[in-house]
A and B are shown apart, each in its own frame.
Chain A
Amino acid sequence: MHKILIVDDNFENRQLLAEILREVAECDFAASGKEAIDAYNLSLQRGDQYSLILLDIELPEINGLEILEKIRESEKNAGIALGDGIPIIIVTAYEKRFLEAYEKGCDDYILKPIDANVLLTKLASVLEKSDQD
């Protein structure tokens, strides 16, 4: 089973996403940008990396795009090429923000309100591509 990090500052949104993904993944949670970075770093230290990160853009203090940048920068410093790093799907209410997220290295995006079919389909597609690489 895949292991996914859900980053969202809203408790109910985290719970909802985890329930939708219940059959396909075990989920960890981060409620802020700092928690997300800490969870990501901890997974690297443990050698137990996440299969994917679901990342909300609107977060207090460090927003989702900044987290995305930090993770891609860290991968670049570790010699991991863009496209070979951890898959990241951005969650946003505003479609126009995904262009900025793509430029910063996200793999896909999903719009709020969450459509369970779209989420599961995109997740499967990103994970399949990641497994092939």
Chain B
Amino acid sequence: MNAKRDIMNEPFQIDAERISADLKIRPDIYLRIVKSFAGTLKEKIAELEAALQVMDKETMRRILHEIKGTASNLRLVSINEAENLMHVEVKGMADPVKLAEYLVLLKGESDKFSEYINKTP
């Protein structure tokens, strides 16, 4: 629960200079890819919502795995943390109430991410 509280309270931020240097790509290109992912993430979350409504665990696992792969490649730590809470739950007990709660958390983080990236030149 600590991880959950921390994610909700922390402002979204990306150190594009440091991450792009680490990835050996230009910062503007890194940000272009990250902006693209912000849109993709919204689509994935909509798919997750639909899968949760019918408790399609396999689809939820697949989508969460996709989010995990890209968020980790792009070093989007808080997206990764929010995704991981739901991912662990869906692979374990898959309690629908907890899954819904974690989905809200992931959506909240995605909204913060979009807001941040839209303000970034």
Are A and B part of the same complex? yes
- Interface residues, chain A, CB within 8 Å of chain B? 9-13, 15-16, 19-20, 22, 58, 93, 112-114, 116-117, 120
Which of B5-13, B29-37, B105-113 contacts the other chain? B29-37
C-alpha spacing A16/B25, complex, angstroms: 8
- Interface residues, chain B, CB within 8 Å of chain A? 22-26, 29, 33-34, 36-37, 40, 65-66, 68-70, 72-75
- By DSSP majority rule, is chain B's interface helix, strand, loop, or mixed? helix
Task: Flag if B24 contacts A116 (CB, 8 Å).
Answer: yes
Question: Total contacts A to B, CB within 8 angstroms?
Answer: 55
Task: Flag if A12 contacts B40 (CB, 8 Å).
Answer: yes
Task: Flag if A12 contacts B37 (CB, 8 Å).
Answer: yes
Task: Flag if A112 contacts B69 (CB, 8 Å).
Answer: yes
* A124: min CB distance to chain B, Å: 13
Taking a contact as CB atoms closer than 8 A, the residue among A10, A116, A117 that contacts B69 in the complex is A10
Interface centre among B40, B65, B69 (most CB of A within 10 A): B69
Task: Flag if B74 contacts A12 (CB, 8 Å).
Answer: yes
Cβ-closest 5 pairs across A and B: A113-B72, A116-B24, A19-B25, A12-B37, A113-B73
Task: Flag if A58 contacts B65 (CB, 8 Å).
Answer: yes
